[in-house]
Amino acid sequence: MTYKIAVLPGDGVGPEVIEAAMIVLDEIALDAEYIYGDIGWEFWRKEGNPLPERTVELMKQTDCALFGAITSKPKDEAQKELAPELQGKGLEYYSPIVKLRQLFDLYANVRPAKAYPGNPLNYKDNINITVFRENTEGLYSGVEYYPVPEEIDNAFKDHPRYKKFIGIDKAISLRIISRKGAERIIRAAFEFAKQNNLKNVTVVEKPNVLRETSGLFVRVARKIHEEYLDIEMWETNIDAQAMWLVKNPEKYDVLVTSNLFGDIISDLASQLVGGLGFAAAGNIGDNYAVFEPVHGSAPKYAGLYKVNPIATIRAVRMMLDYLGEKEKANKLERAIEEVVKEGKVRTYDMGGNASTLDMAKEIAKKYSQL
């Protein structure tokens, strides 16, 4: 079967890390058609939409997407950069990657943090954690108010803790945790642990303060755990978990948490094993998936071919897994491992001066020799 894969370079360093990934994909010789799509900042400027409808349509015709990076900017900055003819049209800018996750209901953001032996950046060598970040709701639900409409104030006027906020200048972001949303991400985490013979899943929330949202998440986890009693389940608070990840990261196999907590804790986890140059993510739903490096568009490095492409190459590895190409996926993983261990080719973040493409070529070469 010929796969159809949407390739979405984006902006900033996005196109160069995708170029690197394609060098590796060429070597892998997957039976696939790669279809490039428009996405990113320049399309916001020119068309008022960083994720044009034609790109969404293209994605719908593919099996999955490989995505580079896009700049996500605060609202005011984004408005200023619109083409003059689009100014004042009330166009709303929303982070395109967050939009993609919601549009395709990619509820599981899977973020492995694995230490490759010999990586000079490792904090410890025996770390292998996979973060399951809920990817469609929580504080990223996109239900926000500023200014807060009067009807919201009215609806809460008798609430004992809301009262003091009535009529004052304020902003609100809703943190929505649905039972279904919690169930599917927690189940995905346990399934992953089971399939990979892992020992523990840690549910990371904050139910002592966020009694209702985190409370529901943890209750759902306890229920699902009953189906996976061979796996140990720990419950921790997000603040303490940040500390414990620094203290003894080797203890944890899988972390599962809501959207913003997962955003933060996965960055922390990635820094334990080399930082964002190594961190890849799969945004996975029931019908589609988008694979990407966790790092952003890093505008100051754009065009310099300096950044480490391993994050994007690991995203390729996750994509191969998703497509069921286990043999190729494992071989690619070994190729990355070998290249890191040999240490002959290192990008600037690893203390070397190899370029983005040098690293990709080295990994492709190693792949061909395995």
Binding region for ligand IPM (CB under 6 A): 72, 95, 97-98, 263, 294, 296
Peptide bond into 147 cis (omega under 30): yes
Give the nearer residue to ligand IPM in terms of CB position, either 319 or 364.
319
Member of 38, 263, 292, 362 binding Mn ion (CB under 5 A): 263
Give the nearer residue to ligand IPM in terms of CB position, either 130 or 355.
130
Helix (H) or strand (E) holding 167: none
| Beta carbon of residue 96, minimum distance to ligand IPM (angstroms, whole number) | 9
Considering only the stretches 76-84, 169-177, 255-263, 330-338, report the one whose residues sit in contact with Mn ion under the rule CB under 5 A.
255-263
| Beta carbon of residue 149, minimum distance to ligand IPM (angstroms, whole number) | 25
Give the nearer residue to ligand IPM in terms of CB position, either 140 or 217.
140
Q: Which does 271 bind (CB under 5 to 8 A by kind): ligand IPM, Mn ion, none?
A: none
With CB atoms as reference, the residue minimizing the distance to Mn ion is 263
Transcribe 94-110 into DSSP letters. --HHHHHHHHTT--EEE
Give the nearer residue to Mn ion in terms of CB position, either 27 or 292.
292
| Beta carbon of residue 159, minimum distance to ligand IPM (angstroms, whole number) | 30
The C-alpha atoms of residue 332 and residue 355 are separated, in whole angstroms, by 20
| Beta carbon of residue 160, minimum distance to ligand IPM (angstroms, whole number) | 33
| Beta carbon of residue 294, minimum distance to ligand IPM (angstroms, whole number) | 6
The C-alpha atoms of residue 202 and residue 205 are separated, in whole angstroms, by 10
Q: Which does 139 bind (CB under 5 to 8 A by kind): Mn ion, ligand IPM, none?
A: none
Q: Which does 296 bind (CB under 5 to 8 A by kind): Mn ion, ligand IPM, none?
A: ligand IPM
Tokens of 162: 């809301």
Considering only the stretches 25-33, 158-166, 258-266, 322-330, report the one whose residues sit in contact with Mn ion under the rule CB under 5 A.
258-266
Tokens of 160: 């004992």
Give the nearer residue to ligand IPM in terms of CB position, either 51 or 231.
51
How much of the chain is helix, strand and coil, in % rounded to 5?
45, 20, 35
Give the nearer residue to Mn ion in terms of CB position, either 52 or 112.
112
Give the nearer residue to ligand IPM in terms of CB position, either 21 or 339.
21
Tokens of 305: 């071919």
Phi, psi of 32 (to 5 degrees): -145, 150
| Beta carbon of residue 162, minimum distance to ligand IPM (angstroms, whole number) | 28
| Beta carbon of residue 267, minimum distance to ligand IPM (angstroms, whole number) | 7
| Beta carbon of residue 72, minimum distance to ligand IPM (angstroms, whole number) | 4
SS3 8: strand
Q: Which does 95 bind (CB under 5 to 8 A by kind): ligand IPM, Mn ion, none?
A: ligand IPM
For 186, residues 6+ apart whose C-beta sits below 8 A from its C-beta are 132, 203, 217, 220, 221, 224, 256
Residue type, 58: L
330 and 370 in contact (C-beta within 8 Å)?
A: no
Give the closest residue to 222 by CA, choosing from 238, 209, 234. Answer: 234
Give the nearer residue to ligand IPM in terms of CB position, either 263 or 333.
263
One character per residue 25-44, x = contact with Mn ion (rule: CB under 5 A): --------------------
277 and 13 in contact (C-beta within 8 Å)?
A: no
Q: Which residue's entry shows tokens 């943890």?
A: 218
For 234, residues 6+ apart whose C-beta sits below 8 A from its C-beta are 200, 201, 202, 203
Give the closest residue to 50 by CA, choosing from 16, 10, 9. Answer: 10
Q: What residues make contact with Mn ion under the rule CB under 5 A?
A: 263
